[in-house]
């Protein structure tokens, strides 16, 4: 079921149900994720722009998800045909697009949670910090650091692909490159830290909302929208991101051959599952921004009647 790369030998990939399931899952994620994120990105840029820190963070998250969605046609083709005629460069780019998405989306989701927390719990003290300019600079720094990290990984991965060539065929997404233990442990620890930040933010926001009286149904709905933001964030981390990261660390640390092969199969399945996260992120935009489909300037009058939403959108 996997490619044997030891001693530069070459083994054929035997068709199994796993490849069929992978091609179907990636195709479904592509069919949903690409149009939904494309529309979300268009709405965010056209209707909301860079006028608030929350909008800036969500635009960057949507761009990250678009990066993943654009790489999925290549995964669908490979797992449906078990052929890769596009060369090592295209394969390396597709793999790096997935890694960039996983890392940047986790950071942007956490920043969105922190932005919601500051806007709700510390609305006055955080006004100087919650600016669109600061958010843009921070997002730019995230893109630069993650891209630099992936450039180094792309060189290693490209070399591994060249060593795994079987004639003119490339096994692409089935090639697994051994990572160093410190990097695997560091990445898993980083994701755990981000998860803890999201948990703390969720608890603090829920406690703050419980202390605020609700006098009408509109304010109750606003509170539910705020809670749903954090629910989606937690789901993305716990269901899609964290299992993949922890399994990657476990595979890197395992030495026994049988456990190693089993761990690799589980890791490939979790990579497939992790791609689904780009379909859920648009829910964050919908619940975070008042009148998501309307121009922000046209919805100001409506927003003034809802103090909770207005405080969360204030720059």
Q: Which residue has the higher pLDDT, 52 or 219?
A: 52
**What pLDDT, on the 0 to 100 scale, is given for residue 65?**
92
Query: Given this model, what pLDDT does residue 265 score?
Result: 81
According to DSSP, the residues that pair with 45 across neighbouring strands are none
* Confidence category of residue 302, pLDDT binned at 50, 70, 90: very low
In sequence order, what DSSP letters do the residues of 131-156 get, joined into one string? -HHHHHHHHHHHHHHHHHHHHHHHHH
Helix (H/G/I), strand (E/B), else coil: 113: helix
- Residue 124's pLDDT is 80
Q: Is 208 helix (H, G, I), strand (E, B) or coil?
A: helix
Return the CATH architecture of domain 11-172+180-295+305-313. Answer: Up-down Bundle (1.20)
The full set of domain ranges for the chain reads 11-172+180-295+305-313
CA atoms of 222 and 228, how far apart (whole Å): 10
Q: How confident is the model at residue 218 (pLDDT cuts 50, 70, 90)?
A: low
Residues 133, 135, 141: CA angle, nearest 5 degrees: 105
Determine if the pTM surpasses 0.85: no
Lowest-pLDDT choice from 41-50, 68-77, 164-173, 303-312: 303-312
The pLDDT value given to residue 73: 94
Give the number of residues written for the chain.
Answer: 315
Per residue in 121-163, pLDDT (tens digit) is: 888 887 888 888 999 999 999 999 999 989 988 888 888 888 7
pLDDT digits (tens, 9 = 90+) for 84-110: 888 888 999 999 999 999 999 999 999
First to last CA, the chain: 52
CB 246 within 8 A of CB 158: no
């Amino acid at each position: 079921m996997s490619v044997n790369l030891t001693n530069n030998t070459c083994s054929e990939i035997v068709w199994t149900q796993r490849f069929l399931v992978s091609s179907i899952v990636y195709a479904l994620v592509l069919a949903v994720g690409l149009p939904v994120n494309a529309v979300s990105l268009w709405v965010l840029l056209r209707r909301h722009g860079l006028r608030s820190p929350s909008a800036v963070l969500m635009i960057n998250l949507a761009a990250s998800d678009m990066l993943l969605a654009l790489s999925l046609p290549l995964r669908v083709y490979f797992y449906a045909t078990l052929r890769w005629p596009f060369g090592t460069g295209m394969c390396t780019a597709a793999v790096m697009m997935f890694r960039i998405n996983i890392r940047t989306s986790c950071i942007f989701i956490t920043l969105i949670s922190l932005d919601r927390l500051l806007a709700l719990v510390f609305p006055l003290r955080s006004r100087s910090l919650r600016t669109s300019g600061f958010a843009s600079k921070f997002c730019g720094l995230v893109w630069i650091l993650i891209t630099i990290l992936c450039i180094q990984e792309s060189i290693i991965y490209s070399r591994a692909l060249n060593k795994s060539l079987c004639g003119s065929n490339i096994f692409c997404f089935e090639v697994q490159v051994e990572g160093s233990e410190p990097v695997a442990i560091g990445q898993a620890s980083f994701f755990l830290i981000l998860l803890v930040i999201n948990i703390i933010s969720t608890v603090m926001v829920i406690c703050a909302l419980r202390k605020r009286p609700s006098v009408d149904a509109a304010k109750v709905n606003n509170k539910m929208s705020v809670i749903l933001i954090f629910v989606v964030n937690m789901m993305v981390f716990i269901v899609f991101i964290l299992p993949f990261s922890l399994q990657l660390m476990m595979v890197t640390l395992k030495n026994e051959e049988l456990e190693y092969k089993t761990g690799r199969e589980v890791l490939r399945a979790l990579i497939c599952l992790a791609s689904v996260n780009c379909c859920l992120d648009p829910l964050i935009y919908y619940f975070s921004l008042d009148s998501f489909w309307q121009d922000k300037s046209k919805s100001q009058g409506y927003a003034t009647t809802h103090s909770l939403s207005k405080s969360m959108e204030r720059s």
